Homo-oligomer: A and B are copies of this chain.
């Protein structure tokens, strides 16, 4: 059922995105539009579903709207907007992190230079807000205005999260508490915003909107914590592809922060400098022994439970309406890579 609905929604999301990119294109900058279409996975070498990503965020918007009043089509402008915000932030993140590959292809800045990539991101940022205008037709002017407010709050949280992420790279020690505002901003805020926007477009009550956002935020946090677990104990991290371990990249993920706070052996090794692929198994073992793995998994479990509780409270009258959302949550949180 979920997959069938998703297969119905995905082409409509692409259609709405294309409409926005075309309607906002300007007469003298065809190449700029081309950069955006490349980043969205539609053209250039390697274009196709892999390069497009999973469109999780727009799907959350539409599934949220569908759960509330069944009419997901009218939320399509909001679905396009969140995907554009997500992709704008990726274009800029890739410059900030000096990442050369995104979804298997060279990043925008690698292909067109940093200056043009900053500008391409700025263009897509504008397009995200432009996309919301169409809610005036599909729902109402009040909804368009309120949606823009919701998206602005998300963006303020996103840039706070990104600020913290960049700032954290510069420090040696970080407490476990410092982790939460960063991932709240970088991951959870947008997922919460997706759910809230879907509800908004479907005339959810204020309480329901609040619960939907809480579901999205906790889903985002749980997703990030599990991603951190995969980054150290996942198959790719532990086996042959051990360069994929977060221990090698030096990422200050949740298990690492737990280890820094609770294991003297781990802390000493961490402070000595870069961990090599060869050490990855041993150090993952040290972290497991000090309780970092158990802590990470139980944290993910608690967050998942919080997310599902929020869903229950959003659909008190008839929890069966939320079945696709809880199914999607379970799919997202059971991935192995």
List the interface of chain A (C-beta within 8 A of B).
24, 26-29, 31-32, 92, 95-97, 113-116, 118-119, 121-123, 125-127, 129-130, 133, 136, 141-142, 144-145, 148-149, 152, 155-157, 159-160, 162-164, 166-167, 181, 185
Contact (Cβ within 8 A) A122 B92: yes
Contact (Cβ within 8 A) A164 B126: no
Contact (Cβ within 8 A) A149 B133: yes
User: A27 contacts which chain B residues (CB < 8 A)?
Assistant: 181
Number of copies: 2
Q: Is the interface of A mostly helix, strand, loop or mixed?
A: helix
User: A29 contacts which chain B residues (CB < 8 A)?
Assistant: 159-160, 163-164
A-B contacts, 7 listed (Cβ < 8 Å): A26-B156, A31-B163, A32-B160, A126-B152, A129-B129, A129-B152, A133-B152
A223 to chain B, nearest CB (A): 21
Contact (Cβ within 8 A) B141 A115: no
User: A145 contacts which chain B residues (CB < 8 A)?
Assistant: 133, 136, 141, 144-145
Residue from B114, B118, B148, B159 within 8 A of A148 (CB atoms): B148
Query: What are the 4 closest A-B residue pairs judged by CB atoms, nearest first?
Result: A96-B115, A28-B181, A126-B155, A26-B160
A244 to chain B, nearest CB (A): 23
A163-B32 contact given A95-B118, A125-B122, A145-B136, CB 8 Å threshold? yes
A95 to chain B, nearest CB (A): 6
A82 to chain B, nearest CB (A): 14
CA distance A127 to B31 in the complex (A): 28
Beyond the given A122-B159, A126-B152, A144-B145, please list 6 additional residue pairs across the A-B interface where CB-CB is below 8 A.
Answer: A26-B160, A92-B122, A95-B114, A116-B163, A126-B155, A133-B149
